[in-house]
């Protein structure tokens, strides 16, 4: 029996040029607005506020004048795992409430299925998963500005970046009548954060499609992924010409060269 | 007033004193119930958990009570399957402690999930590859086995036993108990192991992750082994505490000694395996993920210091093992108490470390350690089932023939 | 949990897991049914009139 995921599928991913990222936070705002992410009156405690896309500020911790910082946007990494589909979170969810879509490589969250055990959060080393500690409440009148394509989530369940999956669905509907039902142009499906980035630091597309920019960018000599050696096999690539920035992407033992340790993953 | 319900030939305190004691513990239960209702009505914002600490006090409490409750399945296995007849004098109590422990775990789990009304999804939409699914299935089934093991005791109450049907039911259940006990042992091996697997499979969390065989990380086997090793120590400890409270000897020394000896061998073999696992983890697994083992313990010494590892393995592992292995030390009451307490603390610490440390330590290089302190609601709901357990034990001790040797050890002049 | 729930897959994992579960459930169910039925029959036959074993 040939399984659906044995055929060559799309594999959506992102390449972020950290040398271009200014840390402005537009991607975070666009994401929250696009995906109806709830917020609290006081968002100062970042440990219980929801940011599907979060920009970290990282310093080289050297004193002036050698101090340098970089900003790193961190959406869900849409891990493929050591064998396609064995993401840290998908493999542990007891109720099949988080799913790996073999046709797109997108890790989704089934809000109506999740019962809030938070095992996926414990499994994710990127802190990309967020729990709804409170009921989502929007200021009066703001409900009118909610995105009609994204369902708001209820208290007590986990949510995370979906690569704006609803946009993929809309794009697929558009091409459904065409001869090639799978044919999506690069511009047909883009995430909100990608489009919002004023510096053009984020590139999004099908990593398997040669006509998409990400296909080439991911093989850049300065490209790296976060915590690659753990075998999470993520779909978010980062690029930086600065060695210390690339080194910050993973944990290294003394004497190991930056980028020298890669975890071998199936089909990659 | 309730003398007709009390087993024949044994002495119990006055009903007034009993009810007063129950009322005091009952007040603690009510406090816990209030916190539980708050969590259910207002949600998990009542806790101090956060997006870094998705697993916290409750998950630890679950793991810990199930580990110490392991005395029930292991004693059951020794008594009914392996056939150590002497253990019939403590098996009832081991089962009762097991019922309390597993009941606690299920209650805490019901509070711990964000959408309690969807709790059944874990069965209905089961992802068979998740360790938590295996835990849920085996835990529920084993709870059913424990209740089945406890029912004959309830039926042996003097008044209930007078009803022929119940008398026959109790008798028949005793006859086939070996089958239930064997099923219980089978289920326990899996859920104790799966609980170890819960953290062991987290390949994104280098502190927790362990290699293993097929789908099972080493923690799978270590958890089952440690529960079988330290569970009986907890049974001994609770028996000793009960003897102190009731001011009576309830189980003969040879029975305790046998259980302590077996526990000693089990702890000894477990702690050697645990040491090997720790060394492999420190020198192979951690560097493979780019970590020095001390990275796992750096930062706040009292919260996440290396002392935890030393305490768990040396003080609460090797020491009780040595005490329990030697006949002379094992039969010294003070040392027996010490060993039972240390082994219980040791296994709880092991569970603590595997839940808390992976959550608090940073994995991404630009992440930070997170410190977590539970809210009063979490503490109250954790104490709730313990207090409830004390009430169930007190009730069972008063009205049911839990200790077969009590009458012989404490003859009543009538 | 049942073959008619839509995430059910007929693979080794499902067969082993649910096989184990239904096996344990059957033993528990059959054991208890036996005990209750036998107790009912014994009672009907006049056994267990307050005598202790």
Taking contacts as CB-CB distances below 8 angstroms, the residues of chain C near B133 are: 17
Q: Which of B359, B385, B380 is nearest to B370 (CA)?
A: B359
What is the percent of chain A where pLDDT is above 70? Answer: 94
Tokens 């839990």 belong to residue: B402
Q: Which of A233, A188, A238 is nearest to A74 (CA)?
A: A238
List subunits contacting chain A, requiring 3 or more Cβ pairs under 8 Å.
B
Taking contacts as CB-CB distances below 8 angstroms, the residues of chain B near A47 are: 50-53, 370
Distance from CA of B216 to the nearest CA of C (A): 13
Q: What is the pLDDT of residue A220?
A: 95
Q: Do C31 and B129 touch (CB under 8 A)?
A: no
Q: Do A131 and B365 touch (CB under 8 A)?
A: no
What is the average pLDDT value for chain B, to the nearest integer?
Answer: 94
Coil/strand/helix, residue A40: coil
Can you say how many angstroms the Cα of residue B249 is from the centroid of all Cα atoms in its chain?
A: 24
Domains and CATH numbers, chain B: 3-404 (1.20.1630.10)
Cβ–Cβ under 8 Å, residues B58 and B111: yes
pLDDT tens per residue, range A128-181: 999 999 999 999 999 999 999 999 999 999 999 999 999 999 999 888 777 666
Enumerate residues 147 to 176 of chain A having a beta carbon within 8 A of any beta carbon in chain B: 154-158
pLDDT tens per residue, range B308-365: 999 999 999 999 999 999 999 999 999 999 999 999 999 999 999 999 999 999 999 9
- The pLDDT of B32-55, averaged and rounded, is 96
The interface predicted TM-score of the complex, written ipTM, equals 0.93
Higher pLDDT, C11 or A66: A66
Q: From residue A12, give the alpha-carbon distance in Å to each of A105, A268, B131.
A: 6, 14, 29
Residue A268 predicted with pLDDT over 60: no
pLDDT band at A64 (very low <50, low <70, confident <90, very high): very high
Chain C contact probe: residue of B164, B174, B180, B190 with most C CBs at under 10 A: B164
pLDDT band at A7 (very low <50, low <70, confident <90, very high): low
Closest alpha carbon within chain B to C46:
B164
Q: What is the pLDDT of residue C10?
A: 81
Domains and CATH numbers, chain A: 4-247 (3.30.70.20)
Residue B392 predicted with pLDDT over 70: yes
pLDDT tens per residue, range B57-72: 999 999 999 999 999 9
- The pLDDT of B86-90, averaged and rounded, is 94
Least confident window among A111-125, B88-102, B189-203, C14-28: C14-28
Closest alpha carbon within chain B to A99:
B127
Distance from CA of B280 to the nearest CA of A (A): 16
Q: From residue B320, give the alpha-carbon distance in Å to each of A109, A238, B338, B341.
A: 46, 51, 7, 9
Q: From residue A191, give the alpha-carbon distance in Å to each of A85, A100, A162, A204, B125.
A: 22, 18, 9, 7, 30
- Which H or E run includes B397? helix B376-399
How many A/B residue pairs have CB atoms within 8 Å?
166
Taking contacts as CB-CB distances below 8 angstroms, the residues of chain B near A71 are: none
């Amino acid at each position: 029996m040939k399984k659906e995921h044995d055929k060559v599928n799309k594999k959506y991913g992102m390449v972020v040029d950290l040398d271009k990222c200014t840390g402005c936070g537009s991607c975070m705002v666009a994401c929250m607005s696009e995906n109806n992410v709830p917020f609290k009156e006081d968002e100062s405690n970042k440990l219980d506020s929801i940011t599907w896309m979060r920009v970290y500020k990282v310093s080289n911790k050297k004193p002036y004048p050698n101090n340098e910082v970089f900003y790193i946007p961190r959406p869900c990494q849409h891990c493929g795992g050591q064998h396609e589909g064995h993401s840290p979170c998908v493999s542990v969810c007891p109720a099949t409430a988080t799913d790996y879509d073999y046709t797109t490589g997108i890790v989704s969250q089934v809000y109506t299925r999740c019962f809030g055990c938070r095992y996926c959060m414990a499994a994710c080393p990127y802190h990309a998963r967020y729990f709804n500690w409170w009921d989502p409440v929007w200021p009066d009148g703001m409900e009118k500005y909610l995105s009609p394509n994204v369902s708001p989530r209820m208290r007590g369940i986990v949510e995370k970046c979906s690569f704006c999956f609803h946009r993929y669905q809309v794009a697929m509907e558009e091409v459904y009548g065409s001869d090639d039902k799978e044919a999506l142009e690069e511009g047909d499906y883009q995430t909100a954060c990608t489009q919002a980035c004023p510096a053009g630091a984020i590139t999004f597309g099908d990593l398997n499609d040669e006509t998409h920019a990400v296909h080439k960018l991911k093989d850049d000599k300065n490209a790296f992924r976060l915590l690659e050696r753990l075998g999470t096999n993520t779909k978010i690539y980062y690029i930086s010409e600065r060695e210390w920035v690339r080194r910050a992407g993973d944990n290294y033992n003394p004497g190991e060269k930056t980028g020298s340790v890669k975890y071998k993953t199936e089909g990659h | 007033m309730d003398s007709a319900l009390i087993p024949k030939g044994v002495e119990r305190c006055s009903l007034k004193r009993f009810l007063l004691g129950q009322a005091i513990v009952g007040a603690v239960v009510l406090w816990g119930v209030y916190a539980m209702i708050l969590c259910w009505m207002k949600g998990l914002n009542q806790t101090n958990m956060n997006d870094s600490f998705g697993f916290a006090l409750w998950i630890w409490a679950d793991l810990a009570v199930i580990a110490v409750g392991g005395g029930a399945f292991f004693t059951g296995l020794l008594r009914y399957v392996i056939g150590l007849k002497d253990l019939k004098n403590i098996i009832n109590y081991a089962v009762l402690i097991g019922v309390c422990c597993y009941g606690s775990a299920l209650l805490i789990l019901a509070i711990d999930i964000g959408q309690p009304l969807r709790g059944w999804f874990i069965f209905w939409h089961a992802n068979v590859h998740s360790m938590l699914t295996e835990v849920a299935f085996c835990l529920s089934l084993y709870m059913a086995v424990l209740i089945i093991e406890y029912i004959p005791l309830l039926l042996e109450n003097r008044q209930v036993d007078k009803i022929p049907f119940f008398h026959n039911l109790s008798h028949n259940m005793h006859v086939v108990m070996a089958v239930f006990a064997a099923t219980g042992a089978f289920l326990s091996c899996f859920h104790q192991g799966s609980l170890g697997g819960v953290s062991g499979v987290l390949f994104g969390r280098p502190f927790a992750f362990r290699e293993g065989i097929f789908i099972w990380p080493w923690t799978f086997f270590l958890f089952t082994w440690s529960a079988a090793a330290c569970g009986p120590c907890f049974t001994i400890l609770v028996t000793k505490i009960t003897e102190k409270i009731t001011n009576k000897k309830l189980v003969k020394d040879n029975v305790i000694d046998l259980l302590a000896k077996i526990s000693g061998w089990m702890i000894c073999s477990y702690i050697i395996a645990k040491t090997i696992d720790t060394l492999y983890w420190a020198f192979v697994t951690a560097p493979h993920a780019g970590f020095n083992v001390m990275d796992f313990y750096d930062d706040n010494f009292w919260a996440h210091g290396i002392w935890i590892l030393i305490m768990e393995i040396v003080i609460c592992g090797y020491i009780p093992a040595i005490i329990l292995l030697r006949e002379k030390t094992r039969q010294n009451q003070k040392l027996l108490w010490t060993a039972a307490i240390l082994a219980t603390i040791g296994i709880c610490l092991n569970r603590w470390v595997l839940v808390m440390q992976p959550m608090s330590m940073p994995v991404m290089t630009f992440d930070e350690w997170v410190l977590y302190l539970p809210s009063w609601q979490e503490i109250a709901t954790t104490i709730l089932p313990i207090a409830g357990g004390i009430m169930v034990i007190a009730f069972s001790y008063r009205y049911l023939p839990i200790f077969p040797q009590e009458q012989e050890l404490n003859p009543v002049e009538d | 949990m049942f073959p008619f729930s839509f995430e059910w897959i007929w693979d080794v994992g499902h067969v082993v897991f649910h096989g184990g579960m239904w096996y344990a459930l059957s033993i528990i169910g059959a054991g208890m049914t036996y005990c209750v039925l036998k107790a009912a029959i014994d009672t009907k036959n006049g056994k267990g009139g307050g005598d202790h074993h």
